[in-house]
Amino acid sequence: MKKTLLCLLTLFVSIGLFACNDTTGLTETTADDGILRVVLLVNGNLGDMSFFDSANEGIEELNAAYPGLIEATTIEMGTSQTTWETTLYRVSQQDYDLIICATTQMRESLQKVSKKYTDKHYIIFDSEIEDNHAADYPNVHSILFRQNEGGFLAGVLAASMANGTSGMSDPVTSSGIVGFIGGMRNDIIYDFAVGYAQGIIYENNLDASNVNLMNSFVGNFNDSTQAKALANVQYTAGADVIFACASQAGLGVIDSAQTNTKYVIGVDSDQYAYYADTNPTRANLIITSVLKKVNIVIYNSVVEYMAGNLEFGVLMSYGLSDEIIDLAMNENYEAKVPETLREKINTLKQQIISGELVVNSRYDYTLDEIDSLFSGLE
């Protein structure tokens, strides 16, 4: 890499622009102009106000922070899976230094492509490249999130709203019913769901209540019409709040919340913030969101790669203790959730971080055990 880039990067480190610490060494780029080229492959479309939009924010933040040093691009591959693998092959043949993709839906393709293009480096987030075999892929950096921890806090909040102990008023009816709508039945969505269920069980035991959980799955991450229909059923049945874990399809749940004047819990990004200016009526019904700060993880990972510090052949995991998973404690949350309940949730958050309170993950259960966990709350 050119001496100019090395000098500039050294200067940037000295004035604290790097998000990581002790940055030493640089990763060579494929092109000879000294620019680090990064591409994010979205196996879907932007505009979900959630997972992929957050990832793209990380790309935009990199371009803004490192002009002339990083060229980061996002490619939307759409919802047709027939194009995903060919796109991954195509970008691997181009002069990108670091190729980023996401979710379990991409990992089989990445397993093949990364073995073919061993001179390329890849990041896969929201999935391990192969279960318990990250070390077998020396040019792939895998990232998982402990979204079960955030799901637990959402479950405590939801159950408190439904059992009458939250101190919240209309549109909360203390119906004893809460909802969950997932996109696909995969490990990540199950992880949100089992955390949510454990939070409900915790609250039921704490207050001797019997909050019931309705759960439905869209079957994909893009059918917002179907998601809205499922949400309408749950709200009509009396659900005080629904936790929507369905990416773009989840926008249909938020639409249903507005139609039914009911609360909804968003996912991945602060979905209240997306609507606060354009549709405040809708925004006010998003009581909080379970945050998965994909933008920060992508940003930091690329900066570490540029500094030569990003490890490959490893699996990284991020949760509450890393300030990557959290609840969106925004102005709407603070205005609508009473202080005593907010304090209780924050105490539980700190107990999870310290290890005093352990929230099981999806990987601690068989599929039959997950079904039993859900059915026990019906």
- All structural domains of the chain: 3-145+294-321 (3.40.50.2300), 147-292+338-375 (3.40.50.2300)
Q: Kindly state the average pLDDT of the residues 193-201.
A: 98
Print burial letters for 126-154: b (CB count within 10 Å at least 16), e (below 16).
bbbbbeeebeebebbbbbbbbbbbbbbbb
Determine the pLDDT at residue 149.
98
Whether residue 232 contacts residue 225, with contact meaning beta carbons closer than 8 Å, is answered with: no
Determine the pLDDT at residue 13.
35
Q: Kindly state the average pLDDT of the residues 327-354.
A: 97
Q: Kindly state the average pLDDT of the residues 249-255.
A: 96
Which residues make Cβ contacts (< 8 Å) with residue 305, sequence separation at least 6? 27, 36, 97, 98, 121
Q: What is the pLDDT of residues 4-60, one digit of tens each?
A: 343 444 334 333 333 333 332 333 344 567 899 999 999 999 998 989 999 999 999
Q: Kindly state the average pLDDT of the residues 145-167.
A: 96
Q: What is the pLDDT of residues 335-345, one digit of tens each?
A: 999 999 999 99
pLDDT bracket for residue 169 (50, 70, 90): confident
Determine the pLDDT at residue 10.
39
Model pTM score: 0.88
Determine the pLDDT at residue 68.
93
**Is the pLDDT reported for residue 83 higher than 80?**
yes
Q: Kindly state the average pLDDT of the residues 206-217.
A: 93
Q: Kindly state the average pLDDT of the residues 91-100.
A: 96
Distance CA 90, CA 1 (A): 24
Portion of the chain with pLDDT greater than 90, in percent: 85
Which residues make Cβ contacts (< 8 Å) with residue 40, sequence separation at least 6? 55, 56, 58, 59, 72, 73, 74, 75, 100, 101, 298
Determine the pLDDT at residue 15.
34
Q: Kindly state the average pLDDT of the residues 290-302.
A: 97
pLDDT bracket for residue 82 (50, 70, 90): very high
